[in-house]
Amino acid sequence: MDLYEYQGKQYFARFGIPTSPGGVASDVEQAVAQAEAAGYPVVVKAQVKVGGRGKAGGIKLAADADEVRQHAGAILGMDIKGHTVRTLWVEHASDIAHEYYASFTLDRSAKKHLCMVSAKGGVDIEEVAATDPAAIARLHVDPVDGLALDQARQLVAEAGLHEEARAEAAELLVRLYTCYVEGDCDLAEINPLILTTDGRVHALDAKVTLDDNAAFRHPEWEELAGTESLDEREVLAKEKGLNYIGLSGSVGIIANGAGLAMSTLDVVTQAGGQAANFLDIGGGANADVMAAALEVINTDEAVRAIFVNIFGGITRCDEVAKGIVEALGRVALRSPIVLRLDGTNAPQGRDILADHVSERLVVEETMLGAARRAVELAGGNR
Ligand code: GDP
Ligand code: MN
């Protein structure tokens, strides 16, 4: 989950990373009130989950209430790279001496965390990486050892940060590392990290991506997720505890096991169709789970056919068949189902289903055959 800048800054604050005082506003008068509280001059900042807001005109300095009104009015409702601005962050403006860059991400190939620091901040880091790669100092951090203050000191020196910024920047890096690890981030990026004219180092921007797989140990993330514009289908699936990802095709998919669900997407594509979703109902596949899965897919108006792809391993196909029959009795489906049932006790499973087979419930022997049938029922390639 990506955070807005203001949420990222609040997250940073928990780990002692300095930011400017400020507040959130969703209309012009709120923006003025936040500006009064933060103290003039202020910066009025568009809150959208995309970079380059400055260049797009979404970041403006304001010296007084009139200027806040003017800028807040212009920025609210603005479109930045397809994102409409609904929220502003208004903070006390900083006097910038220098702009730097600092981030932590995971380097999967190295199996380590990667810290990047540059004295060339405030600009697109991808551009720096492309045009002047030597300007970015990199350090791989072993997750077992963590980041020591000495290493951080060396790194900021290597990156060429100004002498007077180094001590505070190194400390800030260690805190950012703690935020990244203990806060379960996939990305914690500060661009620009600034040295103020009075010699302080702090975060002027925040780009934080939380690792959704760690949500179970962060009940406080619920609040952050509330502000995210989610796919309605995904919201419903989450309520029902399903492993669901919405896609844009017309063939709804239910499979038991993530690997099988992925190959089901592939085989639907191979058959010339497009999947409406990814949905892994796991090993159990009992009536409750099956009914919940069908309900979620049923709410998707783009779905024209549902492909249920079950491979019985430890889960026996006769149990799954009973589950499907029961679920069908509970959910009034808009679309026909194509079922492929294979593996342990598959013949018994098909026997159970035999009485229910109709043009609304088609049973196919093979995965590819079932995919072709589902695509056909969904109206072919669209
Ligand atoms: P981004 O364009 O989406 O990355 O937004 P940032 O928050 O990084 O802001 C872009 C630029 O606006 C920064 O690089 C600064 O140059 C400028 N800026 C942001 N906040 C302030 C501030 O408090 N004072 C001054 N002088 N400039 C600021
Ligand atoms: Mn930035």
Place of tokens 């500060």: 190
Looking at this protein, which amino acid is placed at residue 306?
I
Distance 300 CA to ligand 2 centre (A): 37
CA distances to 49, 52, 56, 58, 84 from 81, rounded to whole Å, are: 10, 9, 8, 11, 8
Q: With a cut of 50, which residues of the chain have pLDDT below it?
A: 382
CATH fold of 232-376, please?
Rossmann fold (3.40.50)
CA distances to 4, 199, 235, 248, 285 from 228, rounded to whole Å, are: 9, 36, 11, 20, 30
CATH fold of 96-225, please?
D-amino Acid Aminotransferase; Chain A, domain 1 (3.30.470)
Ligand 1 pocket test: which of 61, 204, 207 has the largest number of ligand atoms within 8 Å of its C-beta?
204
CA distances to 51, 241, 309, 353 from 55, rounded to whole Å, are: 9, 41, 48, 61
pLDDT for position 230: 66
pLDDT for position 381: 52
Q: How many CA atoms lie within 13 A of 326 on its CB side?
A: 14
Ligand 1 pocket test: which of 42, 43, 190, 208 has the largest number of ligand atoms within 8 Å of its C-beta?
43
Ligand 1 nearest-atom number relative to CA 55: 2
Does 101 qualify as catalytic in the annotation? yes
pLDDT for position 382: 46
Locate the DSSP E strands across 33-95.
42-46, 59-62, 79-80, 83-84, 88-92
- What number of other Cβ atoms are within 10 A of residue 91's Cβ? 22
Question: What is the per-residue pLDDT across 307-326, written as a single tens digit (0 to 9) for each?
Answer: 999 998 888 898 888 888 98
Q: Return the residue whose CA atom lies nearest to atom 15 of ligand 1.
A: 122
Ligand 1 nearest-atom number relative to CA 122: 14
Could you say which ligand is closest to the alpha carbon of residue 52? 1
Q: Return the residue whose CA atom lies nearest to atom 19 of ligand 1.
A: 204
If residue 196 lies in a helix (H) or strand (E), which one and from where to where? strand 185-196
| pTM check: above 0.85 | no
The closest alpha carbon to 367, from 247, 275, 263, belongs to 263
- 322 in Cβ contact with 341 (< 8 Å): no
Distance 125 CA to ligand 2 centre (A): 10
Ligand 1 pocket test: which of 3, 19, 59, 195 has the largest number of ligand atoms within 8 Å of its C-beta?
59
Could you say which ligand is closest to the alpha carbon of residue 121? 1
3-state secondary structure of 326: helix
Q: In what side-by-side order are the strands of the sheet with 305-312?
A: 243-246, 277-280, 251-255, 305-312, 337-343, 361-364
Question: What is the per-residue pLDDT across 328-344, written as a single tens digit (0 to 9) for each?
Answer: 888 889 999 999 999 99
Ligand 1 pocket list (CB less than 6 A): 43, 45, 51-54, 59, 93-94, 96, 99, 122, 191-192, 204-205
Looking at this protein, which amino acid is placed at residue 160?
G
Does 189 qualify as catalytic in the annotation? yes
Q: Return the residue whose CA atom lies nearest to atom 8 of ligand 1.
A: 205
How is residue 251 annotated by DSSP? E
Ligand 1 nearest-atom number relative to CA 123: 14
How is residue 64 annotated by DSSP? S
- Cβ neighbours of residue 320 under 8 Å, at least 6 residues apart? 256, 285, 290, 310, 312, 341, 349
List 252's β-bridge partners, or say none: 306
- 101 in Cβ contact with 116 (< 8 Å): yes
The closest alpha carbon to 249, from 300, 196, 202, 302, belongs to 302
Indicate the domain borders of the chain: 21-92, 96-225, 232-376
- 114 in Cβ contact with 52 (< 8 Å): no
Which CATH superfamily does the domain covering 21-92 fall into? Answer: ATP-grasp fold, A domain (3.30.1490.20)
If residue 177 lies in a helix (H) or strand (E), which one and from where to where? helix 163-182
Ligand 1 nearest-atom number relative to CA 93: 23
The closest alpha carbon to 185, from 218, 152, 159, belongs to 218
Place of tokens 């796991």: 282
